């Protein structure tokens, strides 16, 4: 395991914790804003579509989540899959009326807890 992996979060200096938190929260905030836009866009393009099955294919091609996992050196596939699913689930369960930055901070904190729990089993 790499020293700068997010699995080693408790051993980071205060500066590393601050920097990594800013990076993660910044990427998540952008991701949330884009997801909110896609939700609004999908509602618009499905306005008169009873099946509500029109979706913008770009949605599935965003790299923000993968970048977080790459920066954090999360390499186990099952961990990546769990964290990615967790981010999508948390993002979709939070109300879009809630500030994107606040949602990003909450998701960031949840990710840290999940990663630290995963680190116990390495």
Asked whether residue 91 is assigned to any structural domain, the reply reads: yes
CA distance 63 to 106: 20
Q: What was the pLDDT predicted at 27? A: 92
Please report where in the chains the tokens 């979060």 appear, as a residue.
9
The domain of 15 spans 6-119
Asked whether residue 18 is assigned to any structural domain, the reply reads: yes
CA distance 53 to 42: 9
More confident residue, 122 or 79: 79
Asked whether residue 60 is assigned to any structural domain, the reply reads: yes
Please state the domain count of the chain: 1
Asked whether residue 111 is assigned to any structural domain, the reply reads: yes
Q: How does pLDDT run across 19-65, given as a tens digit for each residue?
A: 999 999 999 999 898 888 877 766 666 667 677 665 655 555 556 78
Burial class, 86, CB count within 10 angstroms (exposed 0-12 / middle 13-18 / buried 19+): middle
Q: What was the pLDDT predicted at 80? A: 92
Q: What share of the chain has pLDDT > 70, as a percent?
A: 82
What average pLDDT score do residues 75-101 get? 91
């Amino acid at each position: 395991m790499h020293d700068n992996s997010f699995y080693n979060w408790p051993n980071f200096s205060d500066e590393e914790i601050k920097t990594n938190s800013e990076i993660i929260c910044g990427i998540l905030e952008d991701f949330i804003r884009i997801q909110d836009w896609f939700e609004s866009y999908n509602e618009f393009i499905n306005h008169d579509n009873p099946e509500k099955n029109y979706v913008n294919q770009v949605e599935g091609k965003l790299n923000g989540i993968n970048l977080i996992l790459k920066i954090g050196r999360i390499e186990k596939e099952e961990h990546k899959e769990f964290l990615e699913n967790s981010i999508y689930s948390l993002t979709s369960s939070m109300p879009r009326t809630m500030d994107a930055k606040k949602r990003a901070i909450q998701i960031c904190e949840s990710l840290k807890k999940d990663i630290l729990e995963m680190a116990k089993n390495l």
